[in-house]
């Protein structure tokens, strides 16, 4: 009540100044009590199970409040130092933060070389890095670095189901990849969409929109072409209940959690995700809510809306 009263008494300029002072103070406090160095981050990655030669799909959120004493590029360096020259690092680089359906409806061409990643500053820094390859898929473009990177992303634009068979996600599974969540929630693990596709026949709701949609892409040679792809159905998005899968992963020992400074970390094995998802499906549980329940809860749980 006091905050609302104070807010009404302040001008816009005063509110901006107050907010700026608050953020500066918050950043200073975090730097004093919850900061960590690149060397400490590398040690933390190893402690959570990231090893030399691993394949890792990273999802991230970077800000001055993470506590890391470095820039986004140094976060990438830390992870690559742990993975070594034979390791692989993957990130998502979608050009949207809404749904794939809404993105395609805009009709803007996806340029594999120049379209900016909207998946956080770390992904955009990684996209611009030398020897990083990007799949020419307008819905779920994957960034890949490592010995097998070119073959991992090859042909992604030719698939009707961007997270299905033949996709980089299936190839990551073959590498026994691990998902790394750097200060983001479990619902941001895009590999879950591979599981949605894999078990779509047993899902209690149509997983995809009934008709494929068209998109225009501009490939690495600058050639423009039209492709078709299925997007996730809005009803399936609303009814997602990925917390069931997270609980099964924790119970099965496939998900490890930790914290360094003010940064939360999670490491999940993709093969563990597949095993747990299979068990849920076999039990008739799946990872979708009943329709009536989803109507009451979809506005507050981002995992119901997210499809990228």
At 308, is the pLDDT very low, low, confident or very high (cuts 50, 70, 90)?
very low
Residue 260's φ and ψ, nearest 5 degrees, are: -135, 130
How many CB atoms neighbour CB 214 within 10 A? 11
Question: Does 8 fall in a domain?
Answer: no
Strands in the chain per DSSP E:
55-60, 88-92, 110-111, 133-134, 142-145, 178-182, 213-218, 224-229, 255-260, 263-269
Give me the number of domains the chain comprises.
Answer: 1
Q: Is residue 78 part of a domain?
A: yes
4 part of a folded domain: no
Residue 153 falls within a domain, yes or no?
A: yes
Model confidence at 301, pLDDT cuts 50, 70, 90, reads very low
Q: Residue 3: pLDDT band by 50, 70, 90 thresholds?
A: low
Neighbours of 162 (CB within 10 A): 27
Q: How far is CA 263 from CA 86, 87, 183, in A?
A: 27, 24, 5
pLDDT of residue 29: 54
Q: How high is the mean pLDDT of the chain?
A: 89
> Which residue range is the domain that position 224 belongs to?
18-305
User: Considering the domain boundaries, does residue 10 fall inside one?
Assistant: no
Percent of the chain clearing pLDDT 90 (strictly above): 78
Is residue 245 in some structural domain?
A: yes
Position 5 in a domain: no
In the chain, % of residues over pLDDT 70: 84
Res. 32: pLDDT tops 70: no
Average pLDDT over residues 288-300: 56
d(CA 75, CA 183): 12
- Give, in order, the Cα–Cα distances in Å from 54 to each of 57, 83, 88, 125: 10, 6, 6, 21
Q: Please determine, for residue 17, whether its predicted confidence score (pLDDT) is greater than 90.
A: no
pLDDT score at 297: 43
List strands edge to edge, sheet with 213-218.
110-111, 213-218, 224-229
Tell me how far apart the alpha carbons of residues 139 and 254 are, in angstroms, rounded to a whole number: 28
CB contact at 8 A, 183 and 278: no
Residue range 246-274, pLDDT digits in tens = 999 999 999 999 999 999 999 999 999 99
Instruction: Say if 128 falls within a structural domain.
Output: yes
Q: For 43-73, write each residue's pLDDT tens digit.
A: 999 999 999 999 999 999 999 889 999 999 9
CB atoms within 10 A of CB 293: 12
Give one DSSP letter per residue of 166-188, joined into a string.
Answer: TSHHHHHHHTT-EEEEESS-GGG
Q: What is the mean pLDDT of residues 10-33?
A: 61
Q: Output 299 or 271, whichever has higher pLDDT.
A: 271
CA distance 11 to 22: 16
- Of the CA atoms within 13 Å of residue 138, those in its CB half-sphere come to 31
């Amino acid at each position: 009540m006091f905050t609302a009263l104070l807010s009404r008494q302040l001008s816009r300029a005063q509110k901006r100044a107050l907010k700026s002072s608050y953020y500066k103070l918050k950043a200073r406090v975090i730097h004093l009590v919850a900061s960590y160095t690149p060397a400490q981050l590398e040690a933390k990655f190893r402690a959570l199970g990231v090893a030399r030669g691993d394949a890792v799909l990273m999802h991230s959120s970077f800000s001055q409040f993470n506590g890391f004493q470095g820039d986004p590029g140094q976060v990438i360096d830390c992870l690559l130092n742990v993975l070594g020259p034979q390791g692989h690092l993957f990130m998502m680089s979608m050009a949207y933060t809404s749904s794939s359906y809404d993105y395609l409806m805009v009709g803007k061409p996806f340029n594999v070389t120049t379209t900016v990643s909207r998946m956080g500053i770390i992904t955009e820094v990684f996209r611009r890095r030398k020897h990083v390859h990007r799949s020419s898929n307008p819905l779920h473009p994957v960034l890949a670095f490592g010995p097998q990177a070119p073959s991992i992303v090859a042909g992604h634009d030719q698939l009707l189901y961007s997270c299905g068979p033949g996709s980089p996600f299936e190839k990551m599974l073959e590498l026994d990849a691990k998902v790394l969540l750097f200060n983001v929630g479990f619902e941001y693990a895009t590999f879950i969409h591979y599981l949605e596709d894999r078990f779509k026949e047993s899902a209690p709701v149509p997983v995809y929109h009934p008709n494929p949609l068209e998109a225009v892409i501009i490939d690495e040679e600058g050639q423009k072409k039209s492709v078709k792809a299925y997007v996730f159905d809005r009803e399936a998005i609303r009814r997602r209940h990925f917390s069931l899968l997270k609980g099964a992963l924790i119970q099965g020992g496939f998900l490890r959690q930790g914290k360094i400074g003010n940064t939360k970390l999670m490491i999940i094995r993709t093969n563990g995700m597949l095993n747990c998802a299979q068990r849920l499906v076999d039990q008739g549980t799946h990872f979708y809510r009943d329709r009536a329940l989803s109507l009451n809860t979809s506005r507050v749980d981002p995992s119901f809306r997210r499809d990228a």
